[in-house]
Amino acid sequence: MPGGGPIGAPLGLLGEAPGVQEAASGLPFVGQAGRVLEDALAAVGVRRQDCYVGNRVRCRPPANRISEYPDALNECDTWTRAELALYNPRVMVLLGKTAFTPIFGDHPVWQVRGHMRHTGVEHPWGSRLWVATYHPAAVLRKMELFEMLVGDIRLAASAIGDLV
Ligand code: URA
């Protein structure tokens, strides 16, 4: 399933992989996790339709076992990087470990969230600002995380103002 949004969307959101509803509809974040994401965006005054929204993994992995399919992950990254080059969001929010590992490394989310990282033109994922945060599905399991998701999206959105 491809990601999408307006070309030149200033803000982008990258998730993990399609869930059941996403696989059925062909659209990212249309299920329960999508509702959490839209609530968090609304809390900072950002409209989903103004953002690039995609997933690092493009097909629903059997039993959601992404780590068992490293080749698929690598192949998907080629497509995701091409999508980012096309839509070119200047600031990206990475939702959960699968999404943030290529930029922030294999660390627990609490260690890397709340900070902004910059990559330059020479970086395989392009020249952008990046913010790592909790996956909306984790927020569904633990609602206390919602404020951190909102705070991290706010941090990303505030960087857009600095760039223009
Ligand atoms: N979880 C994700 O990571 N992506 C979706 O699109 C839906 C749920």
Mean pLDDT, residues 81-98: 97
* Ligand 1 nearest-atom number relative to CA 33: 8
Instruction: Using the mean position of ligand 1's atoms as its centre, give its distance from the Cα of residue 29 in Å.
Output: 5
Tens of pLDDT, residue by residue over 46-73, are 999 999 999 999 998 888 788 888 888 9
Q: Ligand 1 pocket, 10 CB below 6 A?
A: no
What is the residue with the minimal CA distance to atom 7 of ligand 1? 29
User: For the chain, what percent of residues have pLDDT higher than 70?
Assistant: 98
Answer for the pair 133, 41: CB distance below 8 angstroms, yes or no: no
* pLDDT at residue number 88: 97
Q: Is the CB of 55 under 6 A from ligand 1?
A: yes
Q: Mean pLDDT across the chain, nearest whole number? A: 95
Pick from 14, 16, 37, 139 the residue to mutate for probing ligand 1's pocket: most ligand atoms within 8 Å of its CB.
16
Give residue 163's pLDDT: 62
pTM given for the model:
0.95
| Band of pLDDT at residue 45, cut at 50, 70 and 90 | very high
What is the tens place of the pLDDT at every residue in 17-40?
999 999 999 999 999 999 999 999
CA–CA dist 41, 68 (Å, integer): 32
